[in-house]
């Protein structure tokens, strides 16, 4: 027997859900990569390519052929501020040292970038202080003892010499002015608006769609999504190892043309018929009895009425599934969009087929189905709705007294 004094697991938040947090942080990293990609629209800058998860979280290639590496770090606002002694800070710096050793002369600079405050003080707990001392010191021997101790620990973690560590960290800077986790998307929208020439002709919603498309593309670049799209015959004409290496690099590389194409595709994506979130109708709303009376008045057979009830249930279930998969607000936004599509086409079908002489419900249904097919042929935004789902939504709207299938309304006299 379940303990009635405790809530079931589907009504409580897990106290330790690393998957949720990890997904948010990866999304943030992709958003920062998308922001950085906008640099390529600025002719005053010398960034020609941006790589996602290629040796660094974000790797910038400059016109002189050298690179700048970014380590992107996040923390919640209630967590301690970053200190130089933190494992994540030392590990990021050790990564810089490793790259400096492995690719001598190729790295122009390294940046530790974060949305969380860095400790500020004139001691070895402050990363800015340490990097300032390293930048000013000709050799390791010239460093203050506490800074030298910190540098040695980084060198040991990187398994490289102190000289290489000094060389790498001389070109390293730290910044905590990245947007907060919740503000990152707004910063991207602002950046796209100010840098992408195509944004001049975009509405705010269109820029948001374009920005989301760019984040998704950076996510695909980071996660090696390209491997799923490689033609199966490639190994037959070239070395599999060489093919994989080339595909990995190309897949991670964001060029200005790729960014422009992604933004344009996002801009051209069909916008949802979004309305006031407070006015969204929950799936399942309406009277089945009313729906059946209206269909009967329209001349539907018993079999057609049974089918309508079944399709309505399937459509409402899809709406509920969207709220579980995408969150309540986004899910209801999708459901509201297809409701508007179905209602609009039903209104046209009603006007095209209504007659006072005989029931026209079946003819109206056929006209409505044809309109759904035409929308699909035009590749309009229907999410993962089938035509049957759309018809089911029309029946759900019938149950809510939004759609009529006859000019006679005998149920209103009851």
Q: State how far the Cα of 208 lies from the Cα of 202, in Å rounded to an integer.
A: 9
Give the contacts of 174 (CB within 8 A, at least 6 positions apart).
111, 112, 113, 114, 118, 127, 128, 131
Average confidence (pLDDT) over 65-93: 92
User: What would the 3-class secondary structure string for 160-216 be?
Assistant: CCHHHHHHHHHCEEEECCCCCHHHHHHHHHHHHHHHCHHHHHCCHHHHHHHHHHHHH
pLDDT of residue 199: 87
Average pLDDT value over all residues in the chain: 86
Average confidence (pLDDT) over 184-210: 88
Q: State how far the Cα of 341 lies from the Cα of 42, in Å rounded to an integer.
A: 41
CB 295 within 8 A of CB 304: yes
CB 85 within 8 A of CB 126: no
Average confidence (pLDDT) over 191-219: 88
> Alpha-carbon dihedral of residues 235, 239, 240, 245, nearest 10 degrees?
-130
Q: Which of the 8 DSSP states describes residue 107?
A: E
CA 103 to the chain's CA centroid: 33
What is the H or E stretch that residue 24 is in?
A: helix 18-37
pLDDT digits (tens, 9 = 90+) for 330-357: 888 889 999 999 999 999 999 999 987 7
Q: Is the pLDDT of residue 208 over 70?
A: yes
Q: State how far the Cα of 257 lies from the Cα of 263, in Å rounded to an integer.
A: 10
Q: Is the pLDDT of residue 229 over 60?
A: no
Q: Which residue has the higher pLDDT, 82 or 75?
A: 82
Question: Residue for token digits 């990293």?
Answer: 29
Average confidence (pLDDT) over 294-305: 94
Closest CA to 394 of 319, 335, 339, 314: 339
Q: Is the pLDDT of residue 1 over 50?
A: yes
What are the φ/ψ torsions at residue 48 (nearest 5 degrees)? -110, -20
CB 363 within 8 A of CB 300: no
Q: Is 235 helix (H, G, I), strand (E, B) or coil?
A: helix
Average confidence (pLDDT) over 289-308: 94
CB 358 within 8 A of CB 299: yes
Q: State how far the Cα of 337 lies from the Cα of 356, in Å rounded to an integer.
A: 32
pLDDT digits (tens, 9 = 90+) for 148-171: 999 999 999 999 999 999 999 999
Closest CA to 73 of 36, 116, 31: 116
pLDDT of residue 19: 46
Q: State how far the Cα of 346 lies from the Cα of 401, in Å rounded to an integer.
A: 13
Q: Is 147 helix (H, G, I), strand (E, B) or coil?
A: helix
Binning pLDDT at 50, 70 and 90, where does residue 256 land? very high
Beta bridge partners of 107: 67
Q: Is the pLDDT of residue 379 over 80?
A: no
Answer whether 0.75 is exceeded by the pTM. no
Q: Is the pLDDT of residue 231 over 50?
A: no
Task: Dig out the tokens for 103 from the structure.
Answer: 């690719």
pLDDT of residue 92: 95
Average confidence (pLDDT) over 98-122: 93
Task: Dig out the tokens for 239 from the structure.
Answer: 């070395």
pLDDT of residue 227: 43
pLDDT digits (tens, 9 = 90+) for 261-283: 999 888 777 666 666 667 778 89
What is the distance between the terminal CA atoms of the chain, rounded to a whole angstrom?
47
């Amino acid at each position: 027997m379940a303990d009635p004094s405790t809530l079931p697991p589907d009504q409580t938040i897990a106290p330790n859900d690393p998957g949720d947090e990890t997904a948010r942080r990866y999304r943030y990293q992709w958003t920062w990569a998308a922001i950085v990609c906008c640099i390529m629209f600025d002719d005053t800058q010398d960034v020609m390519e941006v790589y996602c998860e290629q040796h660094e979280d974000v790797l910038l290639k400059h016109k002189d052929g050298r690179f700048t590496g970014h380590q992107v770090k996040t923390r919640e606002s209630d967590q301690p501020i970053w200190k130089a002694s933190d494992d994540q800070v030392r590990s990021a710096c050790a990564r810089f040292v490793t790259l400096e050793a492995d690719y001598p002369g190729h790295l122009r600079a390294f940046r530790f970038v974060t949305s969380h405050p860095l400790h500020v003080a004139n001691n070895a707990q402050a990363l800015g202080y340490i990097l300032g001392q390293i930048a000013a010191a000709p050799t390791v021997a010239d460093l203050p003892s506490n800074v030298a101790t910190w540098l040695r620990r980084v060198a040991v973690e990187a398994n490289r010499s102190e000289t290489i560590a000094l060389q790498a960290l001389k070109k390293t800077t730290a910044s905590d002015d990245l947007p907060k986790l919740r503000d990152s998307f707004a910063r991207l929208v602002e950046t796209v608006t100010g840098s992408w020439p195509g944004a001049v002709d975009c509405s705010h919603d269109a820029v948001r769609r374009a920005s989301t498309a760019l984040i998704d593309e950076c996510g695909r670049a980071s996660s090696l999504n390209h491997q799923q799209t490689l033609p199966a015959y490639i190994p037959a004409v070239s070395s599999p190892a060489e093919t994989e290496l080339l595909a990995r690099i190309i897949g991670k590389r964001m060029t200005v043309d790729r960014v422009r194409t992604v933004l344009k595709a996002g801009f051209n994506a069909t916008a949802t018929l979004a309305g006031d979130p407070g006015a969204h109708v929950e799936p399942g709303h309406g009277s089945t009895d009313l729906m059946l009376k209206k269909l009967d008045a329209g001349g539907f057979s018993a079999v057609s009425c049974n089918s309508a009830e079944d399709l309505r249930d399937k459509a409402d279930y899809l709406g509920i599934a969207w709220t579980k998969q995408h969150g309540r607000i986004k899910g209801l936004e999708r459901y509201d969009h297809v409701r508007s599509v179905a209602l609009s086409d039903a209104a046209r079908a009603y006007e095209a087929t209504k007659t006072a002489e005989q029931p026209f419900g079946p003819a109206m249904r056929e006209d409505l189905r044809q309109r759904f097919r035409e929308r699909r042929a035009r590749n309009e935004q229907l999410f993962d709705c089938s035509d049957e789902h759309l018809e089911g939504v029309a029946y759900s709207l019938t149950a809510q007294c939004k759609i009529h299938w006859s000019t006679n309304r005998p149920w209103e006299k009851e």
